[in-house]
Structure 1
Amino acid sequence: MTTSVTQHWLDRWDAQQERYVPDREERFRVVADVVAWANQENPHPKVVDLGCGPGSLSTRLAAALPAARIVGVDADPVLLALAAEAGVTAVRTDLADPRWPADVPLEGPWDAAVSSTALHWLEVGDLAVLYRTLAERLRPGGVFVDADHRSITPPALRGLGTFVRNARATRAGVVDNEDWTSWWDAVLADPDLSAQVDARSEVSICHDGNTGLTVDDHLGMLRDAGFSAASTVWQFGDDFVVVAVR
């Protein structure tokens, strides 16, 4: 797979993601800001990118924090192939398996764990285990930073959060961008990725999970998992950046 082929798919990935997250670049910047804040005295933070996909967040973190050591983890061989070609260090593992940290070539304790639009597919029980694992693996003062769509807590306002985000997408001019399904249909038909597509067909990969958890549910689960504090630091409609401090 050539650099131009990889960049083609990464550009199309970014465009289709912005259809659903119109302020995606600002959201990435906020995640990087939190990691920088937690590592002001640490010039070489160790960061794990959970559900890294093709490396969108990892590449932004590397640009913002060039001395950081970043390792991505994901279960999808197609997305991991794109990440590798983009220069991202990433490993294939299943975050629903509590043994996944053993696959990460980054000695602990870690300074930060991050994620972007990825963990919503985990079942509630698996997510609770993941949160406990992160609390055990991060150093005191380390941070978990998760950027994703979350339901607003008051039921009467949940539709409003989605409405506000969709209105922002209209103003940003991204509602006509390629959609998720079209991107996947196209990339899975690319002969340059046939080996990875074959490997993908042999594993169970879910990208459609929706646990129905509210943002307050997540904050409570993080505190219960052993984090000393958890809060939101950024929101646009139903799109949040959640931070938990070990």
Structure 2
Amino acid sequence: MTETDATTAGTDWQAWQHSWDRQQEWYMPDREQRFTIMLDMVEALAGDAPRVLDLACGTGTITARLLDRLPGATSTGVDLDPALLAIAEGTFAGDDRVTFVTADLKDPDWPAKLPYDSYDAVLTATALHWFHSDPLAALYGRIAGLVRDGGVFMNADHMIDDTTPRINAAERALRHLRMDQAKSDGAVDWAEWWQLAAQDPVLAEPTARRFEIYGEHADGDMPAPAWHARALLDAGFTEARPVWCSPSDTLLLALK
């Protein structure tokens, strides 16, 4: 074992998972609710031992909850972020139910890197707002080609209905007031979390590469749920609608 391997083996990956969850919950206090409904619908439509594609998997948040809920499931996690993938790979090391693939979802050939041609469920959360609308519609087409007939795709993300500006403004003001209070109580935000990762001896190098790839943050679109539903139907799904929502976010399910 090399010195790097020894350092990696000694890293507390669960602590990094916990800190990532807390950081994300600062933005989305109802984050776990969407995961519960997501897995309810996986179980209802794909059974208790589904083959799942965890799309833009990050640290493996969905995969962790999937395997806790449905131990007979298998998961392929796909992401491009080297730091978050390092945490995911460290967390699930030795679990033969989980495979990780490094791929750029903006590359039209990324499905060729996957170990399987089809999946019972493709799941993603708080990731695809990095895409503008036209590339996202094209991505939905590629996802439709990976979901078996009768399988499901679910996307939980920021989906803003711009026909209700006063509702949106009131929700945003209250949410930010609560976030400011949590921040004063010690909550760590996105930028601070990445500063901590950059100081970690194992994550410093992949974190630097991550910012070379992505920059600081997303520059994509956040269309309304109705746009997502139409795009998924156009992509080849037979049914599509929200199955959970908050004032700012939606879990949209599409059935093949």
Q: Please, what TM-score do these two structures have when normalized by structure 2? A: 0.86
Determine the structure 1 residue equivalent to 2:129: 120
CA distance in 1, matches of 2:210, 2:195: 14
Does residue 79 in structure 1 map to residue 87 in structure 2?
A: no
Does residue 38 in structure 1 map to residue 45 in structure 2?
A: yes
Structure 1 residues 183-217: Cα deviation after superposition (integer angstroms, max 9, x where no partner): 01110221222442354355346732341411111
In structure 2, give the amino acid aligned to 1:142: G
Tell me the C-alpha RMSD between the 2 structures. Answer: 2.3
Give the aligned length: 242
Report the 3-state secondary structure (helix = DSSP H, G, I; strand = E; otherwise coil) of the residue aligned with 2:145.
helix
Structure 1 residues 92-124: Cα deviation after superposition (integer angstroms, max 9, x where no partner): 10011111111112x232111000111110122
CA distance in 2, matches of 1:199, 1:208: 16
CA distance in 2, matches of 1:238, 1:164: 12
CA distance in 2, matches of 1:175, 1:153: 31
Determine if contact 1:111/1:142 at 8 Å carries over to the other structure: yes
Displacement, 1:165?
4.8
Structure 1 residues 58-102: Cα deviation after superposition (integer angstroms, max 9, x where no partner): 100111111111111001011000000110532110011111111
Distance 1:23 1:174, change over 3 A: farther
Does residue 13 in structure 1 map to residue 20 in structure 2?
A: yes
Q: Please, what TM-score do these two structures have when normalized by structure 1? A: 0.89
CA distance in 2, matches of 1:27, 1:192: 31
CA distance in 1, matches of 2:132, 2:27: 22
Aligned-pair identity in percent equals 38
Distance 1:147 1:224, change over 3 A: same
Consecutive unaligned residues in structure 2, runs of 5 or more: 1-7, 93-97
Determine if contact 1:75/1:205 at 8 Å carries over to the other structure: no
CA distance in 1, matches of 2:77, 2:11: 22
CA distance in 2, matches of 1:99, 1:169: 39
Determine the structure 1 residue equivalent to 2:253: 243
Please show how residues 189-228 of structure 1 align to structure 2 within 5 Å.
189-200=199-210, 203-204=213-214, 207-228=217-238
Displacement, 1:175?
7.6
Report the 3-state secondary structure (helix = DSSP H, G, I; strand = E; otherwise coil) of the residue aligned with 1:97.
coil
Larger Rg computed on CA atoms:
2
Does residue 151 in structure 1 map to residue 151 in structure 2?
A: no
Consecutive unaligned residues in structure 1, runs of 5 or more: none
Displacement, 1:9?
1.9
